[in-house]
Amino acid sequence: MKTLIKTVAIITISVLAGMFIWDTLKDGWHKEMERQCIEAQDMCKKYPGACKDVKMYCEGV
């Protein structure tokens, strides 16, 4: 019975850690995309021809 409890505890901790890591990575990736999008919009002001691509790129963020 103790082995079962240990196994369940290990699995639970692994799942929670995995979810935390995934959320952190996902959040970090999303922030990076937002940052790049803002930079791209600044470039768009300087080079109006690139605006169409920037809009398409930023809508996904």
Can you spell out the DSSP letters for 3-29?
Answer: HHHHHHHHHHHHHHHHHHHHHHHHHHH
Residue 50: pLDDT band (50, 70, 90) is: low
Q: Please tell me the total count of domains within the chain.
A: 1
Percentage of the chain beyond pLDDT 90 is 2
> What is the model's pLDDT at position 60?
60
pLDDT at residue 21 is higher than 70: yes
**Domain enclosing residue 29, as ranges:** 2-59
> What would the two tokens of residue 35 be?
């940052």
DSSP track, 30-60 = HHHHHHHHHHHHHHHHH-GGGHHHHHHHHHT
